[in-house]
Amino acid sequence: MAAQEEGDTEMMAEPPAKPEPEAPVTQVETNSQTDSQTKQTPDAVDGSPRPQSQEETTTLPEVLSEPKETIDFKVMWNKKKYDITFPLDDTVEMLKKHIQGLTGIPPAMQKLMYKGLAQDQKTLRELKVTKGAKMMVVGSTLDDVVAATTVDKEAIKEEEKKEKSQKESFSSQKLHKKILDKGKPDDVMPGHKGKEKLPTVPLSGMLNKSGGKVRLTFKLELDQLWIGTKDRTDKLPLGSIKAVVSEKIDGQEEYSIMGLQLGPTEASRYWVYWVPSQYVEAIKDAILGKWQYF
């Protein structure tokens, strides 16, 4: 009995064993489970999950990057040809920006000719541009415009000062009066004091300083002005005309006298009489454009 009690005492004196710690749940297992759940997608038939294939993960970007339909054509400017590939559904305005990178001509100074003047809002598809078609660009770079005008700038300013100092109107000056005294030509186009765009037909029935009939034909697609008389037709590049002066005829303001300056001095002006006044501003815009530095 004493031995048993001694054994019991020893057993009671032994400290209790510490419980073994539970195995920690690692982040790897949690992430693995999450990834497994993420990569499973419902089956189209019974709703059970199935792994997403590599093909499915690459199909969407391929659909989003579907290429636009393009057309190959040529653009001509300043005796140069450019081969262009451009989306059919992009507009003329967007094409002008592309052409600026090739030629240096700002879009605002470009005129694109394809079966007539191409409007900015039209697409190439709407213009019915075909493969291998030729499109003409009319316009000059800013550097060309500055170079063309700077040379004669001082001389032109001197001429303008002379004109301002003269008290006589064009109609009163002897040079012009002898033509005006012949009277208005019977076949001159009707004139008025308003403003209109250039007509689609040549301006005809007017007179030059010799009293002969003269007509003006604007070939904007060629960047030219054709001055026609009974004996000849002069085809002038619009860039060769340095300035345009005009003044309404005294007592008949629906018509004007116009001088096209072909050189640096007043002596180089080509005078045209009985120009319908409503077309004067349109003529100046067509010849000089909106970029005038003098």
**Contact predicate 213/230, CB 8 Å:** yes
**Which DSSP state fits 265?**
S
Residue 34 has pLDDT above 60, yes or no: no
**Contact predicate 234/128, CB 8 Å:** no
Average pLDDT over residues 213-236: 93
Model pLDDT, residue 152? 61
Model pLDDT, residue 154? 65
Residues 18-27, buried b or exposed e (16+ Cβ, 10 A)? Answer: eeeeeeeeee
Average pLDDT over residues 35-59: 49
Q: Distance from first CA to last CA of the chain, Å, rounded?
A: 133
Q: Over the stretch 56-68, which tens digit does the pLDDT of each residue have?
A: 444 445 445 568 8
Neighbours of 160 (CB within 10 A): 14
Q: What 3-state DSSP class applies to 132?
A: coil
**Contact predicate 169/247, CB 8 Å:** yes
Model confidence at 273, in pLDDT bands (50, 70, 90)?
very high
Q: Over the stretch 167-178, which tens digit does the pLDDT of each residue have?
A: 688 999 998 999
Neighbours of 212 (CB within 10 A): 11
Model pLDDT, residue 69? 92
